[in-house]
Amino acid sequence: MALLEVSGVVAGYGETEVLHGVSIAVEDGEVVTVIGPNGCGKSTLMKAVVGLARVRAGSVRFRGEDVSHRHPAQSARMGLCYVPQSANVFPSLSIRENLEMGAFIRGDDYGGRIEEMFELFPDLGLRPGQKAGGLSGGQRQMLAIARALMLDPALLMLDEPSAGLSPAVMDMVFQRIRGINRAGVALLMVEQNAREALRMSDRGYVLVSGENRLEDSGQALLDSPEVGRMYLGG
């Protein structure tokens, strides 16, 4: 049984159908990346998994339970956490307060977990009282990821974690993502830097027009002439 099983999901917004029967899976400890052209439904897939886009048909199962129509907070309590591409921090709150917000549904003392996040993301620990609105793009992304990790998720979903970052900062974010996976957290990513994402992925999916086009190992997709020509810029 996979950690996450998305089976034939049809989803969208209002009257607009974006996904037309998409199926993916993530096993415990895996890194899985979804790539495809702009507007193909990658972000909608992530939102359908966590309950931010309505699943009209098909199913989403997490740890064997049907979560197709769960509220996002319910999914988070189960260990399924999502970091959106934008608006992913509270700019008027401090770094520490953002982390505290990430732990609001925990029923235990989370102080130790905050210190773990400061060790994982040292830049954040240097000035925990700084307002998130004053952080750089890379620091904001790291704070958003750290906030999601406050709940000790089994699966962390990242929507375009490197968007808008310089190459150097992008490398640093990917290094942190690798470390998170090595610590035992499974990852599902949508990523514009498809080469880097696939290089660190166990498996990948290619979506086109809201439908599955290809599925293979990350390396096989990197080596595919069709994928290289159509989605990797060469």
What integer pLDDT is reported at residue 8 of this predicted model? 98
Percent of the chain with pLDDT over 90: 74
What integer pLDDT is reported at residue 157 of this predicted model? 97
Q: For the segment 53-68, what is each residue's pLDDT rounded down to a tens digit?
A: 999 999 999 999 999 9
Domain borders along the chain are: 4-89+151-231
The neighbour count for residue 233, using CB atoms within 10 Å, is: 8
pLDDT at 91 over 80: yes
- At 128, is the pLDDT very low, low, confident or very high (cuts 50, 70, 90)? very high
**Calpha distance 97→135 (Å, rounded):** 14
Please, what CATH class does the domain formed by 4-89+151-231 belong to? Answer: alpha beta
Q: For the segment 131-182, what is each residue's pLDDT rounded down to a tens digit?
A: 999 999 889 999 999 999 999 999 999 999 988 888 888 888 899 999 999 9
- At 212, is the pLDDT very low, low, confident or very high (cuts 50, 70, 90)? very high
What integer pLDDT is reported at residue 228 of this predicted model? 83
CA angle (196 as vertex; 95, 22 as ends), nearest 5: 90
Q: What is the pTM of this model?
A: 0.92
What integer pLDDT is reported at residue 230 of this predicted model? 78
What integer pLDDT is reported at residue 86 of this predicted model? 82
CB 231 within 8 A of CB 36: yes
Closest CA to 202 of 224, 172, 178, 225: 178
Q: What is the CA radius of gyration of the chain?
A: 17
